[in-house]
């Protein structure tokens, strides 16, 4: 077990090499940037309790398991709450016993909410599976756009028309796939915070550790990882932006937002199409839109991955107590999100509360 800052350069290189090999050997989910060493290192600089278990055979690393640990031995996936891919990164064919791993790490329980596919020792403890839509761009953007026109011709036509109107009414539309100006990142954070408050959601950027994490990732750039700020400009002004991590093969949608002043032009959709084009130009395999049902994801996706949530537990009173506290909240949230009859009234209530909060 290591603290993130104590992991050697050789181990970090081995971890990245495992991700590259996984992408080639039919396990692209392990190449997700949220499973990269750079993400774990950034979480370690932003929060206490981050750890990495390294499994070795004959002195060579064969698996890396990042997690967060409380003083009572409660374990969570690294970055739980903001991480969209979780699990153990390993060599092809590696097998492990989940409870033995927890025992070795001093954990009574390990909680996850975005466990990637192929983690069978953890999957048996899953309490639910959820779709995570993706945009495949490995065959190039034009191939994707052609397929999108066939499946949703009206959507493509109206979206392109809105882009032309945006250019005509506001000014030249320009896209920057990798914007390095930190002032634009602050603009995006301001938009996103306002969106959270407006819709009655908890403002993630009110939490200092998330702000520190985003700042760390914005300044992280290696051969296999980068925190990517993508921006759509019109008339020289940013109208939509997104920040998220990318690996050699995957770009993850994380924090997208737009200026409400330009909402009638659907700048978020325009931005996501440009992001797909930029990802294809970089040679990435797909854009992961993340778990959750949203109309724009249904419009843009080519297929869906699956992620799981749940708890791996040892026989321990702390584990039982942790699950007893967390399970009802998860069940309630999932019930509301998955049922339109419950979700729509709850969503309206949250938005009304957000409006009242804005006016107070």
**Residue-wise pLDDT tens digits, 308-350:** 999 998 876 666 666 666 655 565 555 555 554 555 565 555 4
Higher pLDDT, 327 or 188: 188
- pLDDT given at position 341: 52
Q: How far apart are CA 60 and CA 302, in angstroms?
A: 38
Higher pLDDT, 70 or 144: 144
For residues 76 and 110, is the Cβ–Cβ distance under 8 A? yes
- pLDDT given at position 201: 84
- pLDDT given at position 358: 33
pLDDT of 356 > 50? The answer is no
pLDDT of 32 > 80? The answer is yes
Q: SS3 string of the chain?
A: CECHHHCCHHHHHHHHHHHHHHHHCCCHHHHCHHHCHHHHHHHHHHCCCEEEEEEEECCEEEEEEEEEECCCCEEEECCCCCCCCECCEECCCCCCCHHHHHHHHCCCEEEEEEECCCCHHHHCCEEEEEEEEEEECCCCHHHHHHHHHHHCHHHHHHHHHHHHHHHHHCCCEEEECCCCCHHHHHHHHHHHHHHHHHCCCCCHHHCHHHHHHHHHHHCCECCCCEEEEEEEEECCEEEEEEEEEECCCEEECCEEEECHHHHHHCHHHHHHHHHHHHHHHCCCCEEECCCCCCHHHHHHCCEEEEEEEEEEECCCHHHHHHHHHHHHHHHHHHHHHHCHHHHHHHHHHHHHHHHHHHHC
* Burial of 214: CB neighbours in 10 Å, binned 0-12, 13-18, 19+: buried
For residue 89, report the phi and psi dihedrals to the nearest 5 degrees: -90, 130
Measured distance between the N- and C-terminal CA atoms of the chain, rounded to whole angstroms: 48
Q: How far apart are CA 145 and CA 163, in angstroms?
A: 16
- pLDDT given at position 71: 80
Torsion sign across C-alpha atoms 214, 337, 252, 78: positive
- pLDDT given at position 248: 95
For residues 244 and 252, is the Cβ–Cβ distance under 8 A? yes
In the chain, what percentage of residues exceed pLDDT 70? 88
Q: How far apart are CA 179 and CA 271, in angstroms?
A: 13
- Please, what is the average pLDDT of the chain? 90
* Burial of 126: CB neighbours in 10 Å, binned 0-12, 13-18, 19+: middle
- pLDDT given at position 160: 95
**Residue-wise pLDDT tens digits, 189-200:** 999 999 999 988
For residues 2 and 52, is the Cβ–Cβ distance under 8 A? yes
pLDDT of 357 > 80? The answer is no
**Residue-wise pLDDT tens digits, 124-144:** 999 999 999 999 999 999 999
**How much is the average pLDDT of 167-185?**
98
- pLDDT given at position 328: 56
Give long-range contacts, CB 8 A cutoff, 24+ apart: 154-161.
155/299, 159/266, 159/269, 159/270, 159/273
**How much is the average pLDDT of 64-84?**
94
């Amino acid at each position: 077990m290591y603290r993130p800052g104590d992991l050697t350069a050789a181990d970090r290189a081995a971890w990245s090499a495992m991700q590259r090999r996984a992408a080639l050997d039919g396990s692209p989910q392990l190449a997700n940037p949220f499973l990269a060493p750079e993400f774990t290192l950034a979480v370690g600089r932003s929060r206490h309790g981050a750890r990495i278990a390294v499994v070795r055979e004959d002195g060579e690393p064969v698996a890396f398991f990042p997690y967060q640990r409380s003083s009572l031995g409660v374990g969570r996936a690294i970055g739980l709450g903001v991480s969209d891919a979780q699990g153990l990164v390993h060599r092809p064919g590696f097998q492990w016993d989940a409870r033995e791993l927890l025992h070795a790490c001093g954990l009574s329980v390990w909680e996850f909410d975005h466990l990637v596919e192929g983690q069978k020792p953890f999957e048996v403890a899953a309490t639910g599976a959820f779709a995570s839509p993706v945009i495949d761009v490995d065959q190039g953007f034009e191939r994707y756009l052609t397929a999108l026109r066939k499946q949703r011709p009206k959507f493509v036509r109206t979206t392109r028309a809105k882009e032309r109107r945006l250019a005509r009414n506001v000014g030249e539309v320009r896209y920057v796939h990798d914007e390095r100006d930190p002032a634009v990142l602050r603009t995006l954070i301001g938009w996103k915070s306002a969106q959270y408050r407006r819709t009655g959601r908890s403002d993630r950027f009110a939490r200092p550790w998330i702000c520190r994490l985003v700042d760390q990732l914005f300044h992280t750039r290696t051969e296999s990882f980068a925190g990517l700020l993508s921006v759509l400009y019109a008339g020289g002004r940013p109208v939509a932006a997104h920040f998220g991590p990318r690996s050699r093969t995957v770009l993850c949608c994380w924090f997208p937002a737009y200026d409400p002043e330009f909402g009638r032009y659907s700048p978020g959709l325009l931005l996501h199409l440009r992001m797909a084009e930029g990802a294809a130009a970089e040679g990435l395999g797909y854009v992961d839109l993340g778990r959750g049902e949203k109309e724009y994801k249904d419009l843009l996706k080519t297929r869906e991955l699956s992620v799981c949530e749940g708890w791996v537990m040892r026989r321990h009173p702390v584990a039982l107590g942790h699950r007893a506290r967390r399970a009802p909240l998860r069940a309630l949230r999932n019930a509301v999100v998955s049922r339109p009859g419950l979700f729509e009234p709850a969503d309206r209530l949250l938005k009304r509360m957000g409006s009242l909060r804005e006016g107070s």
